[in-house]
């Protein structure tokens, strides 16, 4: 907990720091990457840096965490920090690196706010930083321990056993160990990081959800070509190639209870849902399950046939699909034209919902679920990029 003196100072300075936090985080990254170019080249996602997404996520997290020291809400603190800790663990972040971030973040704060940063103000924000950092370090230590690895030691080489087209622009890779030993298991819904060495020498890392069930023994990921890394994987990685990946992490995991399930996805957001459904089918789960998927068309719908097969294997599962363009098809049964609409979907009492897809899609679905009386704490989601949603507290 923050000390009473620091709490007063944070209350007084939060509006000023909050207003300048985007400038501060932008300058922070510039300073840190000038001092440590290897971090920009080999650890951070340079696409997110260009688009300002990571700056936004960091700024949002710090501002939200500081505000939550004034009006405590432990559930929100846990949600925000667990998201970050899982992402950090999947990148192998180590405790010593927090001092590097601290140095450049505070240099940026002083440069942006100038004389407003008195010794008392600096001490109070220092306390907030280390409170956040120490909580993250301890959560990450817990994640490394449960994965059975030393801090940061998450990387391993795996062999591509199979590569398959799952739609016009998506390929899946089945990954297996190089020496035939079993791969660590994972929880349905989790993801792993993939690191590739790009032609200009940079090592870039991206996350991909596991689209297979833990019982398969292998890890399968499905990659939609879009930018630097996904295009690299699509064009360069084939059967028998060796790929560097992390141990699985992630906190969007299937809860082991018997609440009715609603799985809602759009586009490539189908991947964690396919993993979850494969697990439910393999374990002959008897839950009531509604599967909703929206896509541009049948040809862009990755794992289209597999989704239907999985739903057919589950005795109490129903499926609803929407394609913006039905092409020569006609709407029939569970297939409709247009965008996903919860209007016609029955939501069973006590439903637990899992969302994955573009942010505007998920926000729309969340609104519709809240309107149908699904409580916010039963709505779980995964953002396929820096998560600026949790910190915003929508």
Q: Which residue has 């439910």 as its token pair?
A: 280
Q: Which of 81, 122, 97, 113 is nearest to 39 (CA)?
A: 97
Residue tagged active-site, from 29, 129, 140, 166: 140
> Binding to ligand FAD by residue 172, rule CB under 6 A?
no
> Binding to ligand HEM by residue 155, rule CB under 6 A?
no
Residues 6 or more apart from 253 whose CB is under 8 A from it?
Answer: 187, 188, 189, 190
DSSP string, 358-379: -HHHHHHHHHHHHHTT--GGGE
Vertex 322 angle, CA 316 and 323, to 5°:
140
> Binding to ligand FAD by residue 300, rule CB under 6 A?
no
Cα 187 from Cα 382, distance rounded (Å) = 14
Cα 146 from Cα 293, distance rounded (Å) = 33
Q: Is 98 a catalytic residue?
A: yes
Q: Is 10 or 57 the residue whose CB approaches ligand FAD more closely?
A: 57
Residue 329 vs residues 134, 299, 300, 319: alpha-carbon distances, Å: 55, 12, 14, 18
Residues 315-374 that bind ligand FAD (CB under 6 A): none
Answer for which of 26, 55, 83, 272 binds ligand HEM (CB under 6 A) is: 83
- Binding residues with ligand HEM: total (CB under 6 A): 26
Q: What is the distance of C-alpha 230 from the center of its chain?
A: 16
Answer for which of 97, 216, 226, 378 binds ligand FAD (CB under 6 A) is: 226
From ligand HEM, ligand FAD, none, which one binds at residue 147 (CB under 5 to 8 Å depending on kind)? none
3-state SS, residue 393: coil
From ligand FAD, ligand HEM, none, which one binds at residue 268 (CB under 5 to 8 Å depending on kind)? ligand FAD
Stretch of residues binding ligand FAD (CB under 6 A), selected from 1-9, 154-162, 203-211, 291-299: 203-211
DSSP string, 175-237: EEESSSPPPP---TT-EEEEEEE-TTS-EEEEEEEB-S-GGGSSEEEEEE--SHHHHHHHHH-
Q: Is 222 or 278 the residue whose CB approaches ligand FAD more closely?
A: 222
Stretch of residues binding ligand HEM (CB under 6 A), selected from 4-12, 56-64, 115-123, 337-345: 56-64
Q: Is 38 a catalytic residue?
A: no
Contacting residues toward ligand FAD, per CB under 6 A? 45, 47, 50-51, 191, 206-209, 222-224, 226-231, 250, 268, 271, 382, 384-385
The catalytic residue positions are 98, 140
User: Which residues contact ligand HEM (rule: CB under 6 A)?
Assistant: 39, 43-45, 48, 54, 57-58, 61-62, 83-84, 87-88, 91, 93, 97-98, 100-101, 129, 132-133, 136, 386-387
């Amino acid at each position: 907990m923050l000390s009473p003196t620091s709490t007063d100072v944070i209350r007084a300075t939060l509006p000023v720091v909050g207003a300048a936090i985007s400038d501060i985080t932008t300058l922070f990254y510039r300073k840190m990457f000038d001092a440590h170019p290897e971090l920009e080249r080999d650890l951070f996602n340079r696409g997110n840096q260009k688009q300002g997404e990571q700056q936004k996520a960091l700024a949002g997290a710090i501002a939200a965490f500081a505000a939550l020291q004034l009006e405590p809400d432990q559930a929100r603190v846990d949600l925000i920090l667990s998201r970050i800790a899982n992402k950090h663990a999947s990148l192998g972040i180590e405790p010593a690196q927090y001092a590097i971030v601290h140095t450049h973040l505070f240099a940026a704060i002083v440069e942006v706010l100038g004389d407003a940063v008195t010794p008392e103000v600096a001490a109070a924000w220092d306390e907030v930083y280390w409170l956040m950092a120490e909580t993250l370090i301890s959560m990450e230590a817990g994640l490394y321990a449960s994965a059975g690895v030393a801090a940061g030691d998450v990387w391993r080489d795996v062999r591509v056993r199979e590569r398959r087209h799952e739609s016009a622009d998506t390929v899946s890779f089945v990954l297996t160990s190089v020496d035939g030993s079993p791969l660590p298991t994972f929880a349905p819904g989790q993801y792993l990081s993939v690191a590739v060495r790009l032609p200009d020498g940079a090592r870039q890392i991206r996350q991909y959800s596991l689209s297979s069930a833990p019982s398969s023994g292998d890890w399968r990921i499905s990659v939609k070509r879009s930018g630097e890394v996904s295009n690299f994987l699509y064009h360069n990685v084939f059967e028998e190639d060796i790929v560097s990946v992390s141990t699985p992490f992630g906190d969007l995991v299937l809860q082991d209870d018997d609440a009715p399930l609603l799985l809602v996805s759009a586009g490539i957001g189908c991947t964690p849902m396919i993993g979850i459904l494969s697990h439910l089918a393999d374990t002959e789960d008897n839950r009531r399950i509604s599967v909703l998927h929206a896509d541009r068309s049948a040809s862009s719908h990755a794992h289209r046939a597999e989704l239907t097969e999985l739903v057919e294997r589950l005795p109490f599962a129903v499926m609803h699909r929407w394609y913006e363009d039905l092409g020569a098809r006609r709407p029939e049964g569970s297939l409709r034209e247009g965008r996903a609409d919860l209007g016609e979907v029955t939501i069973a009492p006590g439903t637990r919902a899992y969302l994955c897809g573009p942010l505007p899609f998920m926000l729309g679905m969340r609104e519709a679920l809240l309107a149908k009386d699904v409580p916010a704490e039963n709505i779980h989601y995964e953002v396929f990029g820096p998560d600026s949603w949790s910190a915003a507290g929508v």
